A and B are shown apart, each in its own frame.
Chain A
Amino acid sequence: MSSAVAPATVPAQVPVQGGRSSLTRSRIRAAWVFIAPTLIVLALIAGWPLARTIWFSFTDANLNNLTDYEFIGFENYIANYDGEWLGLLTDPDWWRSVWNTVWFTTISVSIETVLGTIVALILNASFPGRGLMRAVILIPWAIPTVVSAKMWNWMLHDQFGVINDMLLRLGLIAAPITWTANPDTALWTVIMVDVWKTTPFMALLILAALQMLPGDIYEAAKVDGVHPVKVFFRVTLPLIKPALIVAVIFRGLDALRVFDLIYVLTANSRDTASMSVYARQQLVDFQEVGLGSAASTLIFLIIALLIVITMAAGRVRLSGDPR
């Protein structure tokens, strides 16, 4: 343009369309082309069923005849008939299932995180047969949940179960315990089986994080004479925390959706029913598609809310202690 003095230093013409060069624009276009198939598939297999579920939750649809239903607004959630409150939000069984689920998730994920960390620390040490141990420990995770739940069902059986038998022989209990039927033990039993099944998964995720840690800082700590316990809490734990948080979120989401384990172990028992079990019962056993959909929608909302809270909390803590 005006500068004719030093043509070599004049920058190439920069298009000023919204500050984006044509290269940037073509990159953005390419990005959209690449993610479009994924977005379409996601919309079809996740978006559409979700939208349909939400829609059904505002209708009085019945499983007998899914074509004939009416829009009833929020009546599945909450409604007032002649001064009496009805609907999902007033159903104590629903709230019981919410409580069961939250309790189950909190306790089982906590135990799995602690146990998983311990197992990962052991597997991270070098000892003969470590490779084999890493494979063996994954077996509970590899067995389909229905199979392992059935297996535990038999082991926990009040008359023929090996667990009652062992405890009786050891003299730890006087009479067989109906582990899955007794309201005092049912939820704990479910938690115990879930811990047995999922700890290996947790351990593997944490092991992966442990193996990313630089080895030299441990040698530095050794030379400095820092006690191993202190090294764990002051060095290892802060360094694997990001991975730990991801693992906890993963497992937490999984646990909030828990269905098969509880259904196989305890069927529709009120003492253990999770939100998913409740929704299935409404939808299949009682044929109430509208009510079941309302429950499913609430599950979706609750999980979404918990994700947002966890991620926000995680980010706050992460940014407070960045790596």
Chain B
Amino acid sequence: MADLVLKNVRKSFGRAHVIHGVDLDIKDGEFIVFVGPSGCGKSTLLRLIAGLEDISSGDLFIGGERVNDLAPAKRGIAMVFQSYALYPHMSVYANMAFGLELAKSSKADIDSKVREAARMLQIENLLDRKPRQLSGGQRQRVAIGRAIVRDPKVFLFDEPLSNLDAALRVQTRIEIAKLHNDTGATMIYVTHDQVEAMTLADRIVVLNAGRIEQVGTPLELYHRPANLFVAGFLGSPQMNFIECVVSHVGAEGVQVQLPNASMLTAPVSSQGVRVGETVTLGIRPDHVKVSPQGSLTGRIELVEELGENHLLYVDFGKGRHLTVREPGDAHHQAGQEVALSLAPEFCHLFRETGEALPFLSESKAPAPSSPDMSSRAA
């Protein structure tokens, strides 16, 4: 079976430490997405799994077998590169067949595999073309086809869609999801695009500076980020962060004092939290509302209309900003003063270490789209 286990995997290039001890269990057939900012080590981690780089220390198991010292070809993986990595002088057919020729498969066998993959990806009519006669999307499909014909236990994708235009990206994304359904293979997919991560993943691995910040299902990560980094990284526009001071701790949650002196109680565990401690309050733009009873007042700096919703950028003094997302068209203009209310049940609190305070009731996961509009801010 193609489950993967990474145990304290580290990688350094000379004196540059790039991966600092990664532990990860990937189940057979799972779709795992590595996401993180540029340069955080996503590609390096993928290349360690592929065997294109040597693991400096730690263990990698594929299907229960330790594969640290196994050549890439023997690991039962196939990789799709960001740059496609097609052989420029070979036809599409030859590109897909090239890797199969050495395996003991017969000509007819290779032919049927290539044609089957081509049919699956709808590139049958392109088989005689050279890569440079193809569009970016077609090239990417050939690259995926080349991976499919090897019938791997694990597919590795390194930002496969980043060179495609927006429409094609969506289309190819859907095809990759379909491929995962059809083959049932384990897939590890690297991207810096959070939409790809959210839509494709069974579980997302958020990486930052060579460390895993959090692993979980897309919605777990979105609703229950374990720390400031994950909270800020997932979601667009970004989660709002406001520095506040803890004013009261109790069984119902942690009460904080907002910069304008109003109070708000977030339903999070108060364990270990001291009154007077500085914490960061995080709230997504969808959970901030313009409301006459709002506790925070500010001036609208910019209005962005997106059609299905709109964004308000509100300055509430001392260079602090809040982003508000509301459905439909904006009824406000830049320059207007507005009052904002924050929905307390959607407020995250992060301690100075960046770590999130756990929510009190894990069962009551808030519905993402229809937040309670009433402000309970004291």
Residues of A whose CB lies within 8 Å of any CB of B are 214, 216-217, 219-227, 230, 234-235, 238-239, 321-323
- B88 interface residue (CB < 8 Å to A): yes
Question: Which residues of B lie under 8 Å from residue A214 when comparing CB positions?
Answer: 83, 85, 88
Extra pairs beyond A216-B84, A220-B87, A225-B74 (16, CB < 8 Å): A214-B83, A216-B81, A216-B83, A216-B85, A217-B85, A217-B87, A219-B81, A219-B85, A220-B81, A221-B98, A224-B146, A225-B73, A234-B98, A235-B89, A322-B130, A323-B88
Smallest CB separation, B114 vs chain A (Å): 13
Given A220-B81, A322-B130, verify A226-B86 contact (CB < 8 Å).
no
Are B79 and A220 in touch, CB under 8 angstroms?
yes
* CB <8 Å contact, A221 and B130: no
Which of A224, A239, A321: most chain B Cβ within 10 A?
A224
Say if the beta carbon of B92 comes within 8 Å of chain A: no
Most B C-beta atoms less than 10 A away, residue of A220, A221, A222, A225: A220
Query: Which residues from chain A contact B99 at a C-beta distance below 8 Å?
Result: 220-221, 224-226
A214 CA to B82 CA, complexed, in Å: 13
Q: Is the CB of A224 within 8 A of B88?
A: no
Within residues 75 to 97 of chain B, which ones have a CB less than 8 A from any CB in chain A? 77-79, 81, 83-89
* A224-B98 contact given A219-B85, A239-B88, A322-B130, CB 8 Å threshold: yes
In the complex, are the beta carbons of B52 and A226 less than 8 A apart? no
Does A219 contact B52, Cβ atoms closer than 8 Å? Answer: yes
A-B residue pair count with CB separations less than 8 angstroms: 69
Closest to B94 in A: A234
Which residues of chain A are near B71, meaning CB under 8 Å?
Answer: 222, 225
- What is the CA–CA distance of A230 and B71 in the complex, to the nearest angstrom? 17
| B72 is an interface residue with CB less than 8 A from chain A | yes
Would you give 17 A-B contacts (Cβ < 8 Å), ordered by A?
A214-B83, A214-B85, A216-B85, A217-B86, A217-B87, A219-B52, A220-B79, A220-B81, A221-B98, A222-B52, A222-B73, A223-B50, A223-B51, A224-B73, A225-B103, A226-B101, A322-B130
Q: In terms of DSSP, what is the predominant structure of the interface of chain A?
A: helix
CA–CA, A287 to B93, complex, Å? 65
Inter-chain CA distance A321–B87, complex, in Å, is 12
A217, A219, A223: which has the most chain B beta carbons within 10 Å? A223
Compute how far the CA of A221 lies from the CA of B81 in the bound complex, rounded to whole angstroms: 12
In the bound complex, do residue B98 and residue A223 qualify as a contact, i.e. CB atoms below 8 Å apart?
Answer: no
Within 8 Å CB of A235, what residues of B?
87, 89
Partner of B77, one of A223, A227, A238, A323: A223
Contact B102 A230 (CB under 8 A): yes
Which residues of A lie under 8 Å from residue B88 when comparing CB positions? 214, 217, 239, 323
CB neighbours (8 Å) of B10 from chain A are none
Residues of B near A226 (CB, < 8 A) are 73, 98-99, 101-102
Please name the residue on chain B nearest to A235 by beta carbon: B87
Q: Known contacts A223-B78, A224-B99, A226-B99; is A238 also within 8 Å of B73 by CB?
A: no
- Is the CB of B150 closer than 8 A to any CB of chain A? yes
In the bound complex, what is the Cα–Cα distance between A104 and B102 (angstroms)? 40
Per the bound structure, the CA–CA distance linking A58 and B83 in Å amounts to 62
Known: A216-B83, A234-B98. A223 touches B89 (CB 8 A): no
Question: How far, in angstroms, from A322 to B88 measured CA to CA in the complex?
Answer: 9
A280 CB → nearest B CB, Å: 45
A239 contacts which chain B residues (CB < 8 A)? 88-89
* B81 partner residues in chain A, CB cutoff 8 A: 216, 219-220
- A230 to B90 CA separation, bound complex (whole angstroms): 14
**Docked CA distance A238–B98 (Å):** 14
A237 and chain B: residue at smallest CB distance: B89
Across the interface, name the chain B residue whose C-beta is closest to A322.
B130
- State the Cβ distance, B248 to closest chain A Cβ, in Å: 57
Give, as a whole number of angstroms, the nearest-CB distance from A274 to chain B.
Answer: 37
For the complex, give the distance between the alpha carbons of A127 and B56 in Å.
Answer: 19
Residues of B within 8 A of A216 (CB): 81, 83-85
B227 to chain A, nearest CB (A): 34
Interface centre among B50, B86, B87 (most CB of A within 10 A): B87
A239 to B86, CA, bound (A): 12
Kindly report which residue of chain A lies nearest to residue B150, judged by CB atoms.
A224
Question: Chain A residues with Cβ under 8 A from B98's Cβ?
Answer: 221, 224, 226, 234
For B149, the closest partner residue in chain A by CB is A224
Contact of B102 among A222, A225, A321, A322 (CB under 8 A): A225
* Residues in B neighbouring A321, C-beta threshold 8 A: 89
Instruction: Say how far B154's CB is from chain A's closest CB, in angstroms.
Output: 11
Q: Can you list the 9 inter-chain pairs with the closest CB atoms, starting with the nearest? A: A225-B73, A224-B99, A216-B85, A220-B85, A223-B72, A238-B89, A223-B79, A216-B83, A217-B85
Specify which chain A residues have a CB less than 8 angstroms from the CB of B51 in the assembled complex: 223
B150 — which chain A residues lie within 8 A by C-beta?
Answer: 224
Chain B residues lying within 8 Å of A221, measured Cβ to Cβ, are: 98-99
Expressed in whole angstroms, the Cα–Cα distance for A322 and B132 within the complex equals: 10
Task: Kindly provide the distance from the CB of B109 to the nearest chain A CB, expressed in whole angstroms.
Answer: 16
B52→A223 contact, CB < 8 A: yes
Tell me how far the C-beta of A58 lies from the nearest C-beta in chain B, rounded to whole angstroms: 49
| Residues of B31-66 contacting chain A, CB below 8 A | 50-52
Contact present for A223 and B86 (CB under 8 Å) = no
For the complex, what is the distance from the CA of A323 to the CA of B71, rounded to whole Å? Answer: 30
When distances are taken between beta carbons in the complex, the residues of chain B under 8 Å from A322 are: 89, 130
Q: How far is the CA of A288 from the CA of B132 in the complex (A)?
A: 58
